[in-house]
Amino acid sequence: MGSITAVAEAAGVSTPTVVRMAKKLGFTGHPELQAALRTELEATISTPITRHDRWARDAPDTHILNRFADAFSENLLGTLSAIVPETFNAVASLIADPERDIYLVGGRITRPIAEYFFTHLQVIRTGTSLLAAGSSTWPHHVLNMGPGDVLVAFDIRRYENDLLRLAEMTAARGATLVLFTDSWGSPAAKLADHAFYSRSEAPSAWDSSVVTLFIVEALIGAIQDENWQHTHDRMNALEDLFDQTKLFRKFV
């Protein structure tokens, strides 16, 4: 964000080289590139109040249901266009592999999605753990991680320092990191073996988790199909346990 001279000196090039780089990226020059960077940084660290004010300023004169529907449709189509099917398939196979232990963790906002994913994986397979909300116990789980194990982490803006440290410890143990983040990208993305970048803009003070949940549900469907007979047997056994506890009402 410094002057063009400072950028050139830091990179060890001439100022005309900086100008040429900016133009190759599609900008008229360094000032326009710098303005775009500033806008992107502001979006990454923006607070809910800032996001609300931005949407309220430019909100179209339609019902809020329609505004949300339009935003979600754009988010979903934009995210799907960037997902490589091979990456999705690789993640599904990783999590379905019974030889691997799976750990899941979410942040302040995304923890319910991690819990949702965990609840389904508990039915599908063994060897699945949900990390507690408090990070003080996370090292206990990292202690059990090793090559072949998988950490599924959720981290959206404003990115959490504890999740970055967890990703660093996980990488040091040789475990695989699957990251769910937003279009700006969590700092933990540089450590991820696989990452899903979901668009999350909404006409609200809060980012949307709709697309992230969509990917999670699609993964659940793919994972259960990887070893369907095993999953089928576990579901039957679970239903027997539900009958014993009388957790659900029966109408027949």
User: pLDDT tens digits for 42-68?
Assistant: 666 666 556 556 555 565 567 888 888
Does residue 250 lie in a domain region?
no
Domain coverage including residue 33: 4-44
Does residue 51 lie in a domain region?
no
Is the same domain home to 11 and 80?
no
Q: Is 4 in contact with 33 (CB distance < 8 Å)?
A: no
Q: What is the CA radius of gyration of the chain?
A: 22
Is the same domain home to 157 and 39?
no
Which of 92, 87, 39 minimizes the C-alpha distance to 196? 87
Q: Is 107 in contact with 182 (CB distance < 8 Å)?
A: no
What does 157-178 look like in DSSP terms, one character per residue? Answer: SSPPHHHHHHHHHHHHTT-EEE
Is the same domain home to 113 and 12?
no
Does residue 61 lie in a domain region?
no
Q: Is 181 in contact with 156 (CB distance < 8 Å)?
A: yes
Is the same domain home to 37 and 87?
no
Say how far apart CA 161 and CA 168 lie, in whole Å: 11
pLDDT in tens, 62-85: 788 888 899 889 999 999 999 999
Is the same domain home to 28 and 130?
no
Is the same domain home to 116 and 187?
yes
- Cα of first residue to Cα of last residue in the chain, in angstroms, is 69
Count of alpha carbons within 13 angstroms of residue 2, beta-carbon side: 10
Q: Is 219 in contact with 91 (CB distance < 8 Å)?
A: yes
Is the same domain home to 149 and 232?
yes
Q: Residue 54's pLDDT is what?
A: 58
Does residue 139 lie in a domain region?
yes
Is the same domain home to 209 and 143?
yes
Is the same domain home to 25 and 130?
no
Using alpha carbons, list the distances in angstroms from residue 116 to 104, 149, 195, 220: 10, 20, 19, 10
Is the same domain home to 29 and 112?
no
Helical residues (DSSP H) of the chain, grouped into ranges = 4-11, 15-24, 30-44, 48-58, 64-82, 85-96, 111-124, 138-144, 161-172, 210-226, 228-245
Is the same domain home to 178 and 232?
yes
Virtual torsion, Cα 214, 182, 176, 137, nearest 10 deg: -100
Q: Residue 38's pLDDT is what?
A: 79
Query: What is the CATH classification number for the domain harbouring 164?
Result: 3.40.50.10490
Count of alpha carbons within 13 angstroms of residue 50, beta-carbon side: 9
Enter the tokens of residue 101.
Answer: 């232990």
Is the same domain home to 141 and 221?
yes
Q: Residue 205's pLDDT is what?
A: 83
The per-residue pLDDT string of the chain (252 residues; one tens digit each, 9 = 90 and over) reads 778 888 899 999 999 999 899 899 998 988 888 888 877 766 666 665 565 565 555 655 678 888 889 988 999 999 999 999 999 999 999 999 999 999 999 999 999 999 999 999 999 999 999 999 989 999 999 999 999 999 999 999 889 999 999 999 999 999 999 999 999 999 999 999 999 999 998 888 888 999 999 999 999 999 999 999 999 999 999 999 999 998 888 766
With vertex at residue 153, the alpha carbon angle to CA 148 and CA 154, rounded to the nearest 5 degrees, is 160
Does residue 66 lie in a domain region?
no
Does residue 62 lie in a domain region?
no
Does residue 86 lie in a domain region?
yes
Number of domains the chain is built from: 2
What's the predicted TM-score (pTM) here? 0.76
Does residue 29 lie in a domain region?
yes
For residue 233, report the phi and psi dihedrals to the nearest 5 degrees: -65, -40
Cβ burial, residue 145 (10 Å; 0-12/13-18/19+):
buried
